[in-house]
Structure 1
Amino acid sequence: MTDHLLELSPDAKTLEAGRRLFYSRRWRLLGGDGNWLWGEFDYNGRRAIESAVQVVEGKFHCSCRARARPCAHGLALVFLLKNNADRFTVGQPPDWVRSVQHRALRPVREVKNESMADDRLAARIALMSEGIDELELRLLDIARRGIADTQAQGADTWLAMATRLTDAKLPALAGRVRRLADQPEEAAEETIARTLGDLYLFVRAWHIRDEFTPDRRDELYQAAGITTRRDELLQRTGKSDHWLVLGTVQGEEDRLRYRRVWVRGERSKRYALLLDYVFGRAPFEQSWPLSASFNGAIHYYPGSYPQRGIFPEPRPGGRPYDGLKGYAGFSDMLGNYRRALGVNPWLQQYPVYLDDVRPIKKGQQLLLVDSAGGALRVHPDYGGFYRLLAVSGGRPMTIFAEFDGYRLRPLSLLTELGLVDAEQAEI
């Protein structure tokens, strides 16, 4: 529930300020009643700043003078709820909060609310369009000067480019550009060329987005960083099934920790990506143990090729999972991947379950080879290749992996003990 509140931040600067205030010790009288959160922020001994948040509807109130709304104080309360809820005391609100609640209950025409939401979305898209126009100019400039010349200017070139995209509320694109600054030298030019090509495809698609179907346009917006709110997702029909946890990836970017969890439906044979974010060392809300199974409905984000979803009410599976079968070789896998990419060209990761593949090292290349002799490279982020090589002993294996269109990143493998983490498998 807290994620959609953080998405209401007017800009990255305010969100960062809210994150800093989350760590402050100046908060006092933190409380909540299940519907509202409130707190007073001690401002250098002066009259405390009074801030309150209506959690479900996303209404913010604050007595500070900041022009941006929601302000950093309100966002800090959301961070506190998300990461340190024990600091709140459940009870009756103080008088100033009751006054805020009373004003919030005044009747407002629903049409006006929808108009305001449309205005906010239109303003954000206008800002994003400005950022995308600037991105296009930068991409054309890089094409004229060449990748090598751009690389010679150092990592600051990519970081400055990423910062401008963040300011334009394009966090997903900013993340892809920021990662170019950390590429190993031997793979940098190849990775940069692919990323710049993907970005230019996105730019051209953005310019003709009005010609897209609603599902295709939703996927484009998700790739840009506009996500559907959780309450809207819950109104969509969920896909009920018996889901198996096949693999997990965790990482961190700019103090924001992320977790990708892949699950597969027993009856539907559909995969779902459960993506979570937390700040600092805060724990993730839900635990998804590898090889555990859960019953319940996953609500997919809108799109012509739905992949990401939310799993609001998982229940323990309580029985063995059946029907897991992998690709016999890379040919069928690549065929399905190309079809998926034709439907949704913004796929960053594609889940694959592979039978009869062997890890081999050929010169400096780390590869997975199928029974027909086809080979695909292993992703450089995978750090367990030599352990995988030892576990295999030259024999074929069954592996679950992410595919980015070029390389495979093993996440789990099937052994006599069942599914085990691909980076921690016992030799």
Structure 2
Amino acid sequence: MIDHLIQLAPDAKTLEAGRRLFYSRRWRLLGGDGEWIWGEFDVGGKRPITSAVQVVRGKFSCSCRARARPCAHNLALVLLLKNNPDRFTVGQPPDWVRSVQHQSGRAPKTIKDTEQAEDRLSARLELMTSGVDELELRLLDVARRGIADTQGQGEESWLSMATRLTDAKLPGLAGRVRRLAGLGAEGTEGEIARTLGDLYLFVRAWRIRDEFPPDRREELYQLAGITTKKDELLGLPAKEDHWLVLGSVSGTEDRLRYRRVWLRGERSRRYALLLDYAFGDFPFEQSWPLSASFAGGVHYYPGSYPQRAVFPEPRPGGRPYDGLKGYPSFQDMLANYRRALGVNPWLLYYPVYLDDVRPVKEGERMKLVDAQGRALPVSADHTGFYRLLAVSGGGPLSLFAEFDGYQLRPLSLLTQLGLAEA
């Protein structure tokens, strides 16, 4: 168990820093209660750094400014528990640890809370509907002008539309419009037309949302930006399995950092998308190292084709992951992708594990070619294509990628040593 916590280190630099802190004599008030361990690190006259680790479930908390968790202080605590357990005093946690433990719990809702939440939702839906009305007018204006003429007006046209959608509490739609601005002159008419078509489909669906079954309506709300509260989600049945971390994508939008982590269940062969946000320099709550495996229950957000999920209590997998099998050809992959779109037409990312594909570079175009000779382009923002060429040596390999309907974005590949970043 303790060794697995050490393996959750986000990188070798953080682990080495944790080892140095392990030898430090600045640790004070080291303690534990059988579930959590904690300690205060003296920084010389200033407020000490407070660090705590939930040993069984692998949750980490620290007041330091490191962006990743576990941080060096968390890892030092784990190393202390492994090598010098006598330094810990068993007892009641101090107030700051109680606060961390309380944040990990869930408080029940009252009837008044429920009524207030319903009133807030009703007011938000009214505001969102006004934003949808304006979006429809703008889409019809683009249809009259044509895509080329609209693109000729520059990205400000898209950005102003995105700003209005944000004001109307439609962040999901605003993000899609903002991506149109990011395409610039390199964006193809096919990409733009697809996004505009998705937006208009949303407009028409929004008008008849009350006629949808609950799962389909929840997907519509998720696209708009309304998601099920975490405490409500944890009340839904969980999908128990042995989960493998297959890949992740992170980035920043207006100082808000995001991270997409993809898991795959060993028995169910289902994918789960963990979507996290952190503002500024604040760290993400959980570390998900590539190729690590976890056991436990994943709670999916409601939907007719659920992808996004939360994993509240991951436990170390404790054994090798079995059953990693991919698509033998793009034909099989695309057939499943079309079926998925038939259930949820707003899929932005589709996870695929591919067997027997070769990276090929033709001029400036980068592609993956399957055993049947069919090719699909690689995303232009993928920076590791030459690594794929080097690892494959021109031969076939297995990799995990995101597919957006047009191109693939490789996230990891299978080597003799296991999964590696693509």
Range into which the TM-score falls when normalised by the shorter chain: 0.7 to 0.9
Aligned-pair CA distance for 1:218: 0.3
Quote the Cα distance in structure 1 between the aligned partners of 2:110 and 2:199.
41
Match of 1:378 in 2: 378
Matches within 5 A, 1:339-358: 339-358=339-358
Matches within 5 A, 1:19-418: 90=95, 110=111, 112-418=112-418
Q: Are the equivalent residues in 2 in contact too, given 1:180–1:188 (CA < 8 A)? A: no
Aligned-pair CA distance for 1:370: 0.4
Task: Give the direction of change, closer, same or farther, for the CA distance of 1:109–1:391 in structure 2 (3 Å limit).
Answer: closer
Quote the Cα distance in structure 2 between the aligned partners of 1:232 and 1:386.
45
Structure 2 residues not aligned, in runs of 5+:
1-64, 74-93, 97-108
Aligned-pair CA distance for 1:341: 1.0
Quote the Cα distance in structure 1 between the aligned partners of 2:338 and 2:127.
33
SS of equivalent residue, structure 1 residue 366? strand
In the TM superposition, what whole-angstrom CA distance separates every residue of 1:99-134 from its partner, at most 9, and x where no partner exists? xxxxxxxxx982x54333222111101110110110
Q: Which amino acid aligns with 1:304?
A: S
Task: Give the direction of change, closer, same or farther, for the CA distance of 1:317–1:327 in structure 2 (3 Å limit).
Answer: same
SS of equivalent residue, structure 1 residue 134? helix
Aligned-pair CA distance for 1:187: 2.6
SS of equivalent residue, structure 2 residue 309? strand
In the TM superposition, what whole-angstrom CA distance separates every residue of 1:250-287 from its partner, at most 9, and x where no partner exists? 11111111000000111111110000000112211100
Quote the Cα distance in structure 2 between the aligned partners of 1:408 and 1:147.
25
Aligned-pair CA distance for 1:346: 1.5
Quote the Cα distance in structure 2 between the aligned partners of 1:161 and 1:340.
29
Q: Are the equivalent residues in 1 in contact too, given 2:245–2:292 (CA < 8 A)? A: yes
Aligned-pair CA distance for 1:386: 2.1
Match of 2:28 in 1: none
Q: Are the equivalent residues in 1 in contact too, given 2:155–2:184 (CA < 8 A)? A: no
Q: Which amino acid aligns with 1:256?
A: L
Aligned-pair CA distance for 1:208: 1.3
Q: Are the equivalent residues in 1 in contact too, given 2:354–2:398 (CA < 8 A)? A: yes
- Report the TM-score, using the length of structure 2 for normalisation: 0.73
Paired-residue identity, %: 72
Match of 1:69 in 2: none
Q: Are the equivalent residues in 1 in contact too, given 2:68–2:287 (CA < 8 A)? A: no
Quote the Cα distance in structure 1 between the aligned partners of 2:240 and 2:343.
24
Q: Are the equivalent residues in 2 in contact too, given 1:351–1:402 (CA < 8 A)? A: yes
Q: Answer 1 or 2: higher relative contact order, Cα 8 Å, separation at least 6.
A: 2
Quote the Cα distance in structure 2 between the aligned partners of 1:230 and 1:360.
43
In the TM superposition, what whole-angstrom CA distance separates every residue of 1:61-87 from its partner, at most 9, and x where no partner exists? xxxxxxxxxxxxxxxxxxx9x999x9x
Quote the Cα distance in structure 1 between the aligned partners of 2:95 and 2:156.
47
Quote the Cα distance in structure 1 between the aligned partners of 2:244 and 2:220.
29
Match of 2:13 in 1: none
Structure 1 residues not aligned, in runs of 5+:
1-79, 92-107, 423-427
Q: Which amino acid aligns with 2:319?
A: R
Quote the Cα distance in structure 1 between the aligned partners of 2:362 and 2:184.
19
Q: Are the equivalent residues in 2 in contact too, given 1:367–1:375 (CA < 8 A)? A: yes
Task: Give the direction of change, closer, same or farther, for the CA distance of 1:109–1:233 in structure 2 (3 Å limit).
Answer: closer
Aligned-pair CA distance for 1:366: 1.3
In the TM superposition, what whole-angstrom CA distance separates every residue of 1:388-424 from its partner, at most 9, and x where no partner exists? 12221110010100011111100000011110000xx
Aligned-pair CA distance for 1:155: 1.4
Match of 1:33 in 2: none
Quote the Cα distance in structure 1 between the aligned partners of 2:137 and 2:329.
42
Q: Which amino acid aligns with 1:173?
A: L
In the TM superposition, what whole-angstrom CA distance separates every residue of 1:279-321 from its partner, at most 9, and x where no partner exists? 1122111000000000111000011111100000111111100
SS of equivalent residue, structure 1 residue 183? helix
Quote the Cα distance in structure 2 between the aligned partners of 1:400 and 1:260.
14
Quote the Cα distance in structure 2 between the aligned partners of 1:356 and 1:149.
43
Quote the Cα distance in structure 1 between the aligned partners of 2:323 and 2:68.
38
Task: Give the direction of change, closer, same or farther, for the CA distance of 1:218–1:109 in structure 2 (3 Å limit).
Answer: closer
Quote the Cα distance in structure 1 between the aligned partners of 2:110 and 2:348.
41
Q: Are the equivalent residues in 2 in contact too, given 1:400–1:410 (CA < 8 A)? A: yes
In the TM superposition, what whole-angstrom CA distance separates every residue of 1:316-374 from its partner, at most 9, and x where no partner exists? 11110001101100111111111111111111101100000011123332111100111
Could you list the structure 1 runs, at least 4 aligned residues long, displaced by more than 6 angstroms after superposition.
none
Q: Are the equivalent residues in 2 in contact too, given 1:259–1:276 (CA < 8 A)? A: yes
Quote the Cα distance in structure 1 between the aligned partners of 2:381 and 2:277.
20
SS of equivalent residue, structure 2 residue 234? helix
Quote the Cα distance in structure 2 between the aligned partners of 1:326 and 1:237.
28
Q: Are the equivalent residues in 1 in contact too, given 2:355–2:399 (CA < 8 A)? A: yes
RMSD of aligned residue pairs (Cα, Å): 2.1
Aligned-pair CA distance for 1:188: 4.4
Quote the Cα distance in structure 2 between the aligned partners of 1:414 and 1:219.
33
Quote the Cα distance in structure 2 between the aligned partners of 1:255 and 1:113.
31
- Report the TM-score, using the length of structure 1 for normalisation: 0.72
Quote the Cα distance in structure 1 between the aligned partners of 2:227 and 2:152.
36
